[in-house]
A = this chain, B = another copy of it.
Amino acid sequence: MTTRIERRQSPRGDDGKWRTALTCIEPNKILVRGYPLDEIMGRLTFGETIYLLLMGEVPSPGISSLMEAMLISFIDHGATPPSTLAARNTATTGAPLRACVAAGVLGFGRYHGGDIESCMHFLDEGLERVHRGETYHEAATALVQKYTDAKEPLPGFGHRFHTRDPRAARLFQMALELEMEGPHIQMIRAVEFVVAQLAAHPPVNIDGAIAAVCGDIGLPPEAADALFIISRVPGITAQAQEEHKRETPMRQIDPKDYLYDGPAQRRVPEKRR
């Protein structure tokens, strides 16, 4: 009989040492996936280096643009997502920034950010039907019917605030312009078309758009999971610091009782490079 004990021995080489393939540290030398970190500085962007760290290679220009856009799309969603409120409630107790960020990251639970992975599986299920000979429209119709019958929400569709998610629209537009559209985007478009016919017609959300783009550029579900955490940390950090700076300690934070008092809408400067 196999017991719990067996699982605890790590696979190792003859030398009995464990292995890491991410970053090599030697005196005066730091290699990330083989590239000297000081050479990466100035040659790649932070977003490209994140891709390199997660996937092992420098991204192509098209993937690089989509990667930056996906990281940006999740960077913040205002003061009231539960993960942000966890960070702000931690900040109001006088806890240091890193404790607030950790509390925020812990709020990336099953119902918050977890939709990307389920949408990737959802799209793959549709694409299997296509591979078996169905058209995209037939596959989409069957998928939507299945979820409607089970009274389950469609992964990647619907949003608390937005009836048309501007981030999803932009990501699809970029994939089109960069000629990076593939079968996953085609699949989610087909589902969107079917959904639009229904009485309730929830829009594609940013989780759905990211799931489709990740599928088409070859990011596996676990990399998408990492992407969500990495991308939201700056927002959590900025929110916790604003709480520290603008509010008095130990306040009761009511998520409905606030106003935005930042700059009015303005245009992003043209790309300068």
Contact = CB atoms under 8 A, between A and B. Distances in A.
A33 interface: yes
Interface string A1-20: 11111111111010111111
A16 to B, nearest CB: 7
Given A36-B265, A166-B37, A250-B7, A110 B85 contact: no
Contact of A255 (B33, B39, B252): B252
Nearest to A155: B4
Given A19-B246, A72-B49, A37 B93 contact: no
Interface residues of A, number: 165
A68 B61 CA distance: 17
Contacts of A263: 21, 31, 33-34, 56
Contacts of A261: 19-21
A179 interface: no
Contacts of A82: 89-90, 92-93, 250-253
B249 A53 contact: no
A9 B5 CA distance: 34
B50 A75 contact: yes
Contact of A174 (B41, B56, B89, B272): B41
A198 B19 CA distance: 36
Interface stretch (A123-131, A133-141, A180-188, A236-244): A236-244
A115 B4 CA distance: 10
Contacts of A148: 1-2
Nearest to A17: B259
A252 B83 CA distance: 11
A190 interface: no
B75 A90 contact: no
A10 B50 contact: no
A5 B244 CA distance: 18
Contact of A31 (B7, B229, B250, B265): B265
A43 B268 CA distance: 8
Nearest to A178: B42
13 contacts: A3-B202, A7-B250, A17-B257, A18-B259, A23-B79, A23-B262, A39-B268, A53-B235, A54-B237, A95-B106, A97-B225, A98-B229, A230-B237
Given A7-B153, A31-B265, A37-B166, 17 more contacts: A2-B151, A17-B259, A22-B78, A26-B161, A31-B263, A32-B76, A36-B265, A36-B268, A39-B170, A41-B170, A45-B47, A46-B75, A50-B234, A85-B85, A91-B109, A95-B107, A233-B233
